[in-house]
């Protein structure tokens, strides 16, 4: 019955903790390993060539290089020890702490061959049953530590070498496989040449060397993280070589230029990060013939919670890969007893990253990302200068086999294990070491090579005390503050966009300016480098703006209501420039029927005709602005012209005069009519007929002579003459 994930993890941790003590006791009880007592201070033999896998009953052949030629009568013995099933046993064997001696085979003199370079090749037959006739007994399948010992004719120790041999099963049996992902990472500061018309700058020597190393990989599935800016600076031959190396590989999407997500988040550049990421993904898709997507992000340096959240939001990261050094510094790390073949969870705080509360993935204030760790011990094999390339490769392959042996009984589709093979940080592991390690592992059948986009399907969760192990990322040592740089880049971006609209013949310069400015967001360059590049771009922009020379302020007189005004404009550049001309008058005292005028100004002087229409006489200001088409920003300061209009004649004046005459006539007539009305009213009020009875003088009583009531006052009627 296979153990559960929880039980298995507890068992592994207990075994790993117990192994050092048990081995120490075993060594103490057994005494010194046979063959090491005489080696008071033997020379180290350098492994030149060996295959890790040995078939049952096959020959073990290996080549080593002694520090000096072997003297006449030297003897070589190969000793085998009990197979190892734990990584800790492998580490101790490499440190010459060998135990469980099985057999010692003396190499026949005729099986020793020395070449012209001083390399010594030995061939030793193996056997599963006995060790007669100089055979090395390897009784069953497994990973055997071997000790090659060279002694002189009198038995003095001349040198030794620890190596390993994996005797494959007979008959072949399926023991399960570890999935292995090979990681490489290449980055460089972007091109910030400043001269927008220049070709991209050459790549730094270390980047060229890393690309050459990657090109030398043979038959290796590589998961590559590379800056798209590097791809854009490769020639056709470089892109072809990279495409060949990545035939079966996988490329992780990246921003166009290196932009640390932690710095971007802290500086309010989330949108810029997202835009650069989209552009970078497009460049990768066009440049490399390999699968690529944004599901995986390798953080070779430190990462903040905000940076991790930004990756999830803008890059849609599902798997975070961190170096062993970052893991060991993180809260929640299990230290040296960690099983690096399984997955962790990293809790990312969306509130206070320094809070000690709510640090689990079940908390509402946390988001979590699945995390894989580069195995630090495997990574160290690629940088250990004390080992030859062959020996480093063999130790790496043997380490993977020991890892597989450790989980051989439990490997299954439901209990998966996978390791990341590469450097513990930025760079490309040695091709010589990687190629040999991959080839050696291929012969053992212990490894299945995958790419990182399939890592989550090939590895399970690391369980401790019934819970998946959760990490809190360590605080980064430094983050680049891009706040001030962002403001300067916003300003120069606006300037470059507007000046680019002035270009007529070479519009690609505008794209080059914007490309250079975009590169300056990179955290791979310093503020001083960014400021210098911004100054250079601004200098180029000012050179173009300064070519436009407006007329000096002057006064002009209109000979009529409508006329054509000629503006004397000068272009001191050797190319035409596109501008927008705008005239305006105070209180709209003058109209400009053509409105804003767009014009290509050729080199030299241009007399630009502009139609104007005066609306009134007088002297007033006319403003002249020369602007960019994009953004309508001023190229030169506003020029104030003085317009004088005092000769408005013809129909407008006639209409005005007639109107005034009519107005005067109406006023006089109205005045006279008002006077007559007042006199009439006065006369009527004084007439006796208009007065009341109370106003008349007293009259005598009796009949009164006069007209009947209701008739107007007037003379008595005369005789009737009508006939």
Instruction: Please report which confidence band the pLDDT of residue 7 belongs to, taking 50, 70 and 90 as the band edges.
Output: very low
- d(CA 251, CA 281) in angstroms, rounded, equals 10
Please report how the helices 527-545 and 483-500 are oriented relative to each other, as an axis angle in degrees rounded to 10: 20
Same fold: 32-167 with 548-651:
yes
- How confident is the model over 529-542, as pLDDT tens digits? 999 999 999 999 99
Q: Where does the pLDDT of residue 472 fall: very low under 50, low under 70, confident under 90, or very high at 90 and above?
A: very high
What is the predicted pLDDT for the residue at 336? 86
Highest mean pLDDT out of 160-174, 432-446, 698-712: 432-446
Closest CA to 87 of 156, 164, 152, 188: 164
| Mean pLDDT computed over every residue of the chain | 84
Domain boundaries of the chain, sorted by first residue: 32-167, 178-190+202-471, 483-545, 548-651
Q: Strand runs (DSSP E) across 439-557, as ranges?
A: 447-450, 463-464, 467-468, 470-471, 548-549, 555-557
pLDDT of residue 587: 78
Q: What is the pLDDT of residue 5?
A: 43
Give the predicted TM-score (pTM) of the model.
0.78
| 178-190+202-471, CATH topology level | 7-stranded beta/alpha barrel (3.20.110)
Over pLDDT 70: what percentage of the chain? 81
Report the alpha-carbon distance of residue 201 to residue 191 in Å, rounded.
6
Indicate whether 354 pLDDT > 50. Answer: yes
What b/e string do you get for 555-576 counting C-beta neighbours within 10 Å, with b at 16 or more?
Answer: eeebeebeeebebebebebeeb
Q: What is the pLDDT of residue 16?
A: 43
Look at the block and give the residue holding tokens 């204030």.
365
Fold of 548-651: Immunoglobulin-like (2.60.40)
Backbone angles phi, psi at 496, to 5 degrees: -65, -40
> What is the per-residue pLDDT across 287-330, written as a single tens digit (0 to 9) for each?
988 899 999 999 998 899 999 999 999 999 999 999 999 999 99
Q: How confident is the model at residue 42 (pLDDT cuts 50, 70, 90)?
A: low
Tokens describing residue 442 = 């291929």
pLDDT the model gives residue 133 = 72
Please check the confidence at residue 51 and state whether its pLDDT lies above 80. Answer: yes
Query: Do 657 and 581 touch, CB atoms closer than 8 A?
Result: no
Distance CA 689, CA 678 (A): 19
The yes or no reply on domain 32-167 and CATH 2.60.40.10 is yes
Residue 386: the pLDDT is 93
**Contact predicate 236/465, CB 8 Å:** no
User: Phi/psi of residue 156, each to 5°?
Assistant: -70, 145
Better pLDDT: 253 or 586: 253
Residue 478 pLDDT grade (very low, low, confident, very high; cuts 50, 70, 90): confident
Tokens in use for 375?
A: 């195995």
Cβ of 302: how many Cβ atoms within 10 Å?
21
Over the stretch 165-214, which tens digit does the pLDDT of each residue have? 999 988 766 678 899 999 999 999 998 865 444 455 789 999 999 999 99
In 382-430, which ranges are continuous DSSP H helix?
Answer: 389-407
Burial class (CB in 10 A: 0-12, 13-18, 19+), 125: middle
Predicted confidence at residue 14, as pLDDT, reads 40
Assigned token pair, 487: 């403001």
Cα distances (angstroms) measured from residue 383 to each of 18, 217, 392, 433, 434: 29, 17, 9, 10, 12
**pLDDT for res 32:** 31
Instruction: Give CA–CA dist 336/332, Å, rounded.
Output: 13
């Amino acid at each position: 019955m296979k153990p559960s994930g929880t039980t298995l993890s507890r068992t592994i941790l207990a075994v790993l903790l117990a192994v050092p003590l048990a081995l120490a006791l075993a060594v103490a009880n057994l005494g010194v390993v046979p063959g090491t007592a005489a080696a008071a201070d033997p020379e180290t033999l350098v492994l030149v060539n060996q295959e890790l896998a040995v078939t049952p009953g096959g020959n073990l052949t290996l080549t080593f290089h002694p520090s000096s030629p072997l003297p006449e009568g030297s003897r070589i013995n190969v000793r085998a020890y009990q197979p190892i099933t734990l990584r800790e046993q492998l580490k101790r064997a490499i440190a010459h702490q060998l135990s469980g001696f099985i057999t010692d085979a003396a190499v026949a003199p005729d099986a020793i061959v020395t070449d012209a370079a001083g390399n010594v090749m030995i061939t030793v037959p193996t056997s599963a049953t006995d060790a007669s006739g100089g055979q090395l007994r390897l009784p069953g399948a497994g990973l055997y530590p071997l000790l090659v010992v060279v002694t002189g004719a009198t038995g003095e120790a001349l040198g030794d070498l620890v190596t390993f041999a994996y005797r494959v099963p007979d008959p072949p049996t399926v023991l399960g496989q570890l999935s292995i992902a090979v990681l490489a990472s290449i980055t460089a500061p972007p091109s910030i040449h400043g001269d927008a018309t220049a070709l991209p700058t050459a790549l730094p020597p270390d980047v060229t060397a890393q690309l050459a190393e990657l090109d030398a990989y043979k038959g290796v599935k590589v998961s590559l993280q590379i800056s798209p800016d590097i791809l854009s600076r490769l020639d056709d031959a470089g892109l072809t070589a990279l495409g060949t190396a990545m035939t079966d590989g996988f490329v992780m999407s990246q921003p166009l230029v290196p932009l640390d997500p932690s710095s971007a988040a802290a500086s309010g550049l989330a949108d810029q990060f997202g835009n650069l990421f989209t552009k970078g993904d497009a460049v990768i898709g066009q440049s490399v013939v390999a699968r690529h997507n944004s599901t995986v992000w390798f953080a070779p340096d430190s990462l903040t919670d905000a940076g991790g959240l930004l990756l999830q939001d803008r890059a849609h990261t599902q798997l975070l890969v961190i170096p062993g050094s970052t893991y060991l510094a993180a809260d929640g790390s299990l230290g040296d007893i960690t099983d690096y073949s399984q997955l962790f969870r990293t809790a990312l705080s969306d509130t206070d990253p320094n809070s000690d509360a709510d640090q689990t993935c079940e908390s509402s204030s946390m988001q979590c990302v699945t995390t894989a760790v580069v195995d630090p011990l495997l990574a160290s094999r690629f940088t250990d200068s004390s080992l030859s390339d062959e020996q480093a490769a063999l130790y790496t392959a043997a380490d993977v086999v020991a890892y597989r042996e450790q989980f051989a009984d439990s490997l299954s589709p439901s209990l998966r294990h996978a390791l990341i093979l590469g450097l513990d940080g930025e760079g490309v592991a040695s091709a010589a070491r990687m190629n040999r390690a991959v080839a050696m592992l291929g012969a053992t059948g212990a490894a299945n090579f995958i790419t990182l986009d399939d890592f989550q399907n090939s590895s399970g969760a690391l369980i401790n005390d019934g819970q998946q192990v959760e990490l809190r990322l360590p605080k980064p040592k430094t983050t680049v503050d891009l706040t001030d740089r962002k403001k300067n880049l916003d300003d120069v971006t606006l300037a470059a966009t507007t000046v680019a609209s002035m270009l007529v013949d070479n519009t690609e310069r505008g794209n080059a300016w914007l490309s250079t400015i975009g590169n300056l967001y990179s955290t791979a360059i310093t503020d001083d480098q960014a400021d210098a590049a911004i100054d250079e771009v601004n200098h180029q922009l000012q050179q173009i703006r300064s070519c436009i020379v407006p007329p000096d302020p002057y006064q002009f007189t209109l000979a009529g209501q409508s006329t054509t005004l000629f503006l004397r404009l000068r272009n001191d550049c050797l190319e035409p420039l596109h501008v927008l001309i705008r005239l305006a008058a105070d209180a709209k005292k003058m109209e400009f029927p053509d409105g804003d005028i767009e014009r290509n100004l050729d080199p030299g002087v241009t007399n630009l005709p502009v139609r104007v229409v005066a609306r009134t006489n007088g002297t007033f200001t006319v403003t002249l602005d020369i602007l960019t088409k994009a953004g309508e920003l001023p190229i030169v300061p506003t020029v104030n012209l003085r317009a004088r209009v005092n000769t408005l004649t013809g129909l407008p004046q006639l209409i005005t005069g007639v109107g005034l005459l009519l107005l005067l006539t109406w006023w006089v007539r109205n005045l006279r009519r008002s006077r007559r009305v007042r006199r009439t009213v006065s006369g009527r009020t004084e007439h006796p007929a208009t007065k009341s009875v109370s106003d008349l003088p007293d009259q005598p009583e009796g009949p009164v002579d006069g007209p009947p009531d209701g008739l107007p006052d007037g003379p008595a009627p005369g005789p009737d003459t009508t006939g």
